């Protein structure tokens, strides 16, 4: 049976998201399908990213006069699974599948499989 020996999911599992902060991406599925935005933050351990204007959720806030906070509904971006995102290549302006290769310094460089241009610059 399960119980004590149940395998814990490691929160620290190292994903290697194909998206990076500052990338332009398009959303492939979900309610924001087709939306484009810039990656604001990548949550690598969760395999998620926060994308500008994508996956807005409403958050109700209480007024707090001491901190000069007005009550109301705040809309904020929520993290979205990186698997739902596709990077838009800055060279050919198309949503692109990415590959990676190593440059002369041994660093992994992502490149666009459409036009073969490198993305990290
Ligand atoms: Zn390209």
Q: How far does the centroid of ligand 1 lie from the alpha carbon of residue 112, in Å?
A: 5
- Identify the residue with better confidence: 113 or 58: 113
Q: How far does the centroid of ligand 1 lie from the alpha carbon of residue 119, in Å?
A: 8
pTM: 0.76
69: which residues sit within 8 A by CB, 6+ positions away? 61, 63
Q: How far does the centroid of ligand 1 lie from the alpha carbon of residue 95, in Å?
A: 8
pLDDT band at 7; cut points 50, 70, 90:
low
pLDDT value, residue 109: 92
Q: How far does the centroid of ligand 1 lie from the alpha carbon of residue 86, in Å?
A: 12
- The first and second tokens of residue 5, run together, are 């020996």
Torsion (CA) 91, 94, 98, 103 in degrees, nearest 10:
0
Tell me the C-alpha distance between 33 and 62, whole Å.
Answer: 31
Reported as a single tens digit per residue, the pLDDT across 22-57 is 999 999 999 999 999 999 999 989 999 999 999 998
pLDDT value, residue 114: 95
pLDDT value, residue 17: 84
Reported as a single tens digit per residue, the pLDDT across 73-112 is 888 899 999 999 999 999 999 999 999 999 999 988 999 9
Q: How far does the centroid of ligand 1 lie from the alpha carbon of residue 74, in Å?
A: 37
Q: How far does the centroid of ligand 1 lie from the alpha carbon of residue 63, in Å?
A: 47
pLDDT value, residue 25: 97
Query: Residue 21, class by beta-carbon neighbours within 10 Å (0-12 exposed, 13-18 middle, 19+ buried)?
Result: exposed
Q: How far does the centroid of ligand 1 lie from the alpha carbon of residue 91, in Å?
A: 5
């Amino acid at each position: 049976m399960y119980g004590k020996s149940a395998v814990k999911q490691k929160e620290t599992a190292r994903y290697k998201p194909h998206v990076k902060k500052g990338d332009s991406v398009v959303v492939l599925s979900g309610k924001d399908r087709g939306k484009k935005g810039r990656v604001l933050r990548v949550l690598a351990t969760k395999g998620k990213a926060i994308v500008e204007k994508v996956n807005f959720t409403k958050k109700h806030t209480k007024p707090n006069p001491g901190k000069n906070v007005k009550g109301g509904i705040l809309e904020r971006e929520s993290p979205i699974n990186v698997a739902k995102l596709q990077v838009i290549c800055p060279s050919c302006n198309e949503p692109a599948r990415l590959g990676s290769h190593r440059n002369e310094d041994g660093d992994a460089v992502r490149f666009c499989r459409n036009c073969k241009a490198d993305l990290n610059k």
